[in-house]
Amino acid sequence: MLYLDHAATSPVRPEVLEAMRPYLTGVFGNPSSHHTVGEAAASALDDARRRVAQVLGMRTGDVVFTSGGTEANNLALKGIVLPSPRRHLVVSPIEHESILESADYLRRFHGIEVTSPAVDSAGRITPDAVAAVLRDDTALVALGHANNEIGTVQDVLAIAAVVDQAGAVLHVDAVQSVGWLPLDGLGAGSIAIAGHKLGAPKGIGAMAVRGRIPLEPLLHGGGQERGRRSGTENVAGAVALATALELADAERSEVTAGVGAFTRRFIAGVLASVPQAALTGDPVHRLPGTASFTFAGVSGEAVLLELERRGVVSSSGSACAAGSDDPSHVLLACGIAPEVAQTSVRFTFGREALPDDAAEQLAALVAESVRSVTGR
C-alpha cells in the first residue's frame, strides 16, 4: 500500500516513540505534584516547552500545549477576541473548519462581526485584500499559513505587516506548514500547530501566543499552563511534539527539496496524461508535498476507490469535515463550480524518499484509474 494522505495524518516516527516512552512508564508523575516524581515530570514538560518555542521563534512562556490543532485554533480565536475591546474579526473563506466554526460561534453568541477578504482562483490572499477589510475595531486576523486542501502558501510576513499597522493581532494556523516551512520570523501574534502532521502521536498540539496579548482560557480548573489551559498536562505528548519538531526542522531543507521535486514531476505527469485534470491551488507558492486536482466529469470518490483498489490511498480533501459529501468550501471560494469541486482528489506526500521513477509511475496509475472509472 502507498499512503498518500499525509495532510490528514502521518505515522509516528520511531525516534519520537522512543523519546516519549520513558514518560509513559518511568517518569509518570503529575507535573503539578510537589514531590520528586511530579517534579521530574514538570522538568520534562518545561524542557519540551522550551524546545517547541525555539523552533517557533517564540518565548518559552508563550507556548500552551493543547490536544491538537483544532483546540489550538479555538483557543486563539476565542481566547484573543473575547477579552479584546475590539469587536471585529477577519477570517478568510478558505480556512480550516476549526477557524470558521470558531468565528461563527463568536458571531452567534458574542456579537462579533466577521468579515472575509477576497481570495483569488489559486487560493491566494494578498496583503491588499486583507487591508481592504481591516477596521479600527479589528481584533484579530486568522490566516492559514498553507491550505490543507490545495496546499497554497500565503505571504504571511507581508500580511503581518498590514495587520500590525492596523493594531490588530495576526493568528497563523500552521498545522499544515509545520515541518515543511520555517515558522520563526512570521510576525504572528499567535501560531497553532498539531503533532500528528509531522510524526508525533494524535492528541498533542500547541498554541503559542506572545505574552503581551491577553488570552481568555477555554478550559478552567487547576490553572495549568499558566492559567491558560487547565487540565493535567500530557507530558509524553509534549516531549513527542518537541522531538518531532526538532527532527523536522533539522531535515527541512533536504526533505522539502526532494519531496518538492518529486511532487512537481508527479503533477506534470498527471496533467500530461489525464485530459480532464486541472491542478488546484497556486502552481508555485504551494506546499512541497501537496498535489490536488479536479477531474471534470469524473466522480472523485470513484477515482479514490479505484486508486485504493490498486494500492494507493489518497483523499478528496480535508479529513476534518466528518461525514460531509458537500463540495469543498475551499474550492468553491476559489471560484470552482460545485459539480467540478466534487471531483477533487488530493495527494499529499510524506517525508520519506521515493524512487526517482515513482512519480511517472504514479501519474500513469492515476491516469489508468481515471480511464477505468470513465470507461475510456
List, by residue number, the catalytic residues.
Answer: 320
Q: Which residues are within 8 A (CB) of 101 and not within 5 positions of it... i.e. 6 or more apart?
A: none
**Cell, residue 282:** 497556486
DSSP conformation letters of 259-313: HHHHHHHHHHHHHHH-TTEEE-S-SSSB-TTEEEEEETTS-HHHHHHHHHHTTEE
**Cell, residue 283:** 502552481
**Cell, residue 315:** 483523499
**Alpha carbons 66 and 98: distance in angstroms, whole number:** 14
Q: Are 76 and 228 in contact (CB under 8 A)?
A: no
CA 309 to chain centre: 28
**Cell, residue 108:** 452567534
Q: Are 178 and 245 in contact (CB under 8 A)?
A: yes
Nearest to 374 by CA among 296, 291, 294, 279: 296
SS in 3 state form for 222-263?
CCCHHHCCCCCCCHHHHHHHHHHHHHHHHHHHHHHHHHHHHH
Q: Which residues are within 8 A (CB) of 57 and not within 5 positions of it... i.e. 6 or more apart?
A: 183, 184, 185, 186
CB atoms within 10 A of CB 208: 28
